[in-house]
Amino acid sequence: MPSIEFTPNLTRHVDCPPAELAAGTVEEFLAQYFSRWPGARGYVLDDQGSVRHHVKIIVDGRNIRDRDRLSDPLEPSSRIHVFQALSGG
């Protein structure tokens, strides 16, 4: 089953444990995940359901292409990593 992991800078703000869920797309996976851990949704997605500008979602080492509909496909062995982009200057 595809799995997800969040970086520590997100986990210190909201309950978002690693998980394995059966899903064929990023959207399906996140919908299931957020039904179990709803507090994480607002940190990852905006009000329209798109990935927030300061968040990156990586599937199997590559940035997802569809940040709006989250239609990127998943394989049974896919690993999803969610990062909060950090900036400074």
**20-35 core/surface letters (b: 16 or more CB in 10 A; e: else):** ebebebbbbbbeebbe
CB 2 within 8 A of CB 23: yes
3-state secondary structure of 18: coil
Around Cβ 60, how many Cβ atoms within 10 Å?
13
Q: What is the DSSP string of 33-49?
A: HHHHSGGGHHHHB-TTS
Residue 11: predicted pLDDT: 86
pTM for the complete prediction? 0.93
- The answer regarding whether domain 3-84 maps to CATH 3.40.1800.10 reads no
What's the average pLDDT block by block, 10 residues per block, for the chain (89 residues)?
94 93 98 97 96 96 98 98 78
Residue 84: predicted pLDDT: 86
